[in-house]
Chain A
Amino acid sequence: MTDLANSTVHLQADSVECSRDDRLLFENLSVEVSGGEALILEGRNGTGKTTLLRILCGLRRPDEGEVRWGGVPIEECAVDFHRHMVYVGHLDGIKRELTALENLRVLQTLSGRGRYSVEEALEAVKLGGFEDIPVHFLSAGQKRRAALARLLVTDARLWVLDEPFTSLDVHGIELVESLMDAHLSAAGALVMTSHHQVHLSAGVIKRLNLSEG
């Protein structure tokens, strides 16, 4: 399972096009991101940032074009791609009736064990002490932290994050940024959208503005 050192982290969208409700969001759009790089998508509301993220992680198919992981179209290497990719979207993907511990344990079984154990990941997002409480009773920010702990429990080399800072406080944002830095320094890749200013000190930062053109 630990062939990550030599597996290349490289995600490439090749001239993808997507329209929604007869409205063209983007066409002929090519982006790529490799290990150690962060791609930050910018743009006004409704310019298709989330849609592009969903295309990149394979939840949605582009109308035209192709997304490739290590040179192979993601439909053809879905299992390998999904093992090395983690997506945190607008929805937390956390069951309210379960505790953070139970939630993460299920996700870990589904996607493969990573460097951190579930307990360590919860400690890392400062949710230590809350692991046995149903998520239902946690605050919005704590819930978001539990969702972001998912980044750590699996073997993901590519993080796809849609507005990760939503409902986090200042410390939470700093914490997530430091996790991102560590991920980038470990040759991980990151694609994200954010309306906040993102302060990353490691890695190469690329920006793409979807409002232009």
Chain B
Amino acid sequence: MSVWQAFIELLKRDLRLAMRRRAEIANPLLFFVMVIVLFPLGVGAEPNLLERMSAGVVWVAALLAALLTLDSIFRSDFEDGTLEQLLLSAQPLSVMVLAKVVAHWLVTGLPLLLVAPLLAMLLGMKSAAMGTLMLSLLLGTPVLSLIGAIGVALTVGLRRAGVILSLLVLPLYVPVLIFGAAAVDAAASGLPVAGQLYILAAFLAMALSLAPVAAASALRISLS
């Protein structure tokens, strides 16, 4: 009964749950695809314009799609009482929170990452920037899930948490967006991108180490 075993078991549980309600996986992905597909229809199909904006559009769409799914990290567990049981389990809560966030990212973040190059191509992004786009999303989207978990943990006890959750979380998302989109832009112009990616990696390291602890404390407050 090690912590690692519990981590794996909870991760498996959440993935299994996600498989049994597939609509929830499809929802953010569909949103992501729709925003990006509709964009050229709105601003006009001028290749130069679209190519200039592609990095920003993909990143903003990914960020909003992530925001859309955040509530599902803890909401259903809160409603059926399994979150209480998690708090009362004989395992460190922060590790359990991390397992849930990892599951959430695998279910919502990873699919975005996989379809992103296709959609970026649709917007005419240079192929030189594709690698950087993937890498920036790979580093950035887990940060979105981790920061989001803190916000959800704080608001899960509230009945209508949507607006307040966005207000809490969006300011913290802005740096990720700025450096993520800047990295892709720089790659498209043939400039070095190491700086931006390092910053994103630093964000990820910080979020990985601090967010589970913060979210665990927030959950304790929300459930008391």
Contact = CB atoms under 8 A, between A and B. Distances in A.
A159 interface: no
B107 to A, nearest CB: 14
A126 interface: no
A93 B81 contact: yes
Contacts of A89: 81, 84
> Range of interface residues on chain A?
35 or more
Contacts, number: 84
B17 A98 contact: yes
A46 B9 CA distance: 38
B6 A109 contact: yes
Nearest to B92: A79
Would you call the interface of chain B mostly helix, strand, loop, or mixed?
helix
B194 interface: no
A96 B20 CA distance: 10
B80 A92 contact: yes
Nearest to B5: A109
B10 to A, nearest CB: 7
Interface string B1-26: 10001100110010011001100000
A25 interface: no
A94 B80 contact: yes
Contacts of B79: 91
B158 to A, nearest CB: 16
A109 B92 CA distance: 13
Given A58-B88, A82-B90, A83-B90, A98 B81 contact: no
B81 A110 contact: no
B10 A110 contact: yes
Interface of B: 1, 5-6, 9-10, 13, 16-17, 20-21, 79-82, 84-92, 96, 223-224
